[in-house]
């Protein structure tokens, strides 16, 4: 964190005293559908994945890697979760009750403005992502991902990428083959 903001010793101590750091194995499920949890996650190293299961099919809608945080919908609204969260790789992350975030927020005023600015930026980024997704065709979405998050294509299984891109694994495979063909010419 000190990469991003400078903290006093007091602040560091407070954060460390919370004992929220976890190291979890690949495949571990952090949150299941129907579960009520008020925890939020922040990835320090590794990758976690958010997915739905409909008709027995996994539908991946987001990945979170280094320095990205996931505050599940269920933690905000205090309702059972609609989706699952699991680890794509061995992952080190913080797991903290959502109110701890609010406590920190109250204790350290200088975090407050940062929070507004950050959450605005996050919201804006989220919206741009959504816009891009809507505007692009499946093939363009894959090419965009290749541009913007080449790491994901390396570290995440194809079938999870596929549903993240809004298609089935076979279509992604075919699409990749088609692109390879084109680039040969």
Partner DNA sequence: TAAAATCGTTATCTTAAGATAAGAAAATGA
Partner DNA sequence: TCATTTTCTTATCTTAAGATAACGATTTTA
Q: What's the min distance (Å) between Cβ of 21 and its own copies? A: 23
Contact of residue 173 among DNA, its own copies, none (CB under 5-8 Å per partner type)? DNA
DSSP state of 109: H
171 binds its own copies, rule: CB under 8 A:
no
174 binds DNA, rule: CB under 7 A:
yes
> Quick one: residue 157, left, alpha or beta (phi over 0 = left, psi -120 to 50 = alpha)?
beta
170 binds its own copies, rule: CB under 8 A:
no
Interface with its own copies (CB under 8 A), residue from 78, 129, 148, 158: 129
Other Cβ atoms closer than 10 A to 10: 10
User: Distance (Å, rounded) from C-alpha 72 to C-alpha 32?
Assistant: 11
For the sheet with 69-70, list strands across it: 21-24, 91-97, 39-45, 69-70
User: Distance (Å, rounded) from C-alpha 116 to C-alpha 11?
Assistant: 19
171 binds DNA, rule: CB under 7 A:
yes
Contact of residue 21 among its own copies, DNA, none (CB under 5-8 Å per partner type)? none
Contact of residue 159 among DNA, its own copies, none (CB under 5-8 Å per partner type)? DNA
Q: What's the min distance (Å) between Cβ of 136 and DNA? A: 10
Q: What's the min distance (Å) between Cβ of 130 and its own copies? A: 5
Interface with its own copies (CB under 8 A), residue from 110, 116, 174, 178: 116
User: Distance (Å, rounded) from C-alpha 84 to C-alpha 29?
Assistant: 7
User: Distance (Å, rounded) from C-alpha 131 to C-alpha 174?
Assistant: 25
77 binds its own copies, rule: CB under 8 A:
yes
């Amino acid at each position: 964190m000190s990469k991003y903001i400078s903290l006093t010793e007091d602040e560091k101590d407070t954060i460390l005293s919370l004992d929220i750091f976890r190291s979890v194995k690949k495949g571990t499920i952090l949150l299941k559908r129907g579960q009520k949890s008020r925890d939020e996650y922040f990835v320090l190293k590794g990758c976690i994945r958010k997915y739905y299961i409909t008709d027995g099919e996994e539908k991946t809608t987001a990945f979170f890697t280094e320095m990205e945080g996931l505050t599940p919908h269920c933690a905000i609204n205090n309702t059972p979760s609609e989706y699952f969260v699991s680890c794509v790789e061995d992952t080190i992350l913080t797991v903290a009750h959502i109110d701890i975030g609010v406590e920190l927020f109250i204790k350290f005023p200088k975090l407050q403005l940062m929070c507004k600015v950050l959450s605005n930026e996050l919201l804006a980024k989220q919206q741009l992502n959504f816009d891009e997704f809507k505007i692009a065709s499946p093939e363009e979405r894959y090419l965009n991902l290749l541009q913007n998050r080449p790491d994901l294509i390396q570290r995440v299984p194809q079938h999870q990428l596929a549903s993240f891109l809004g298609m089935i694994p076979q279509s992604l495979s075919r699409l990749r083959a088609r692109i390879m063909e084109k680039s040969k010419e």
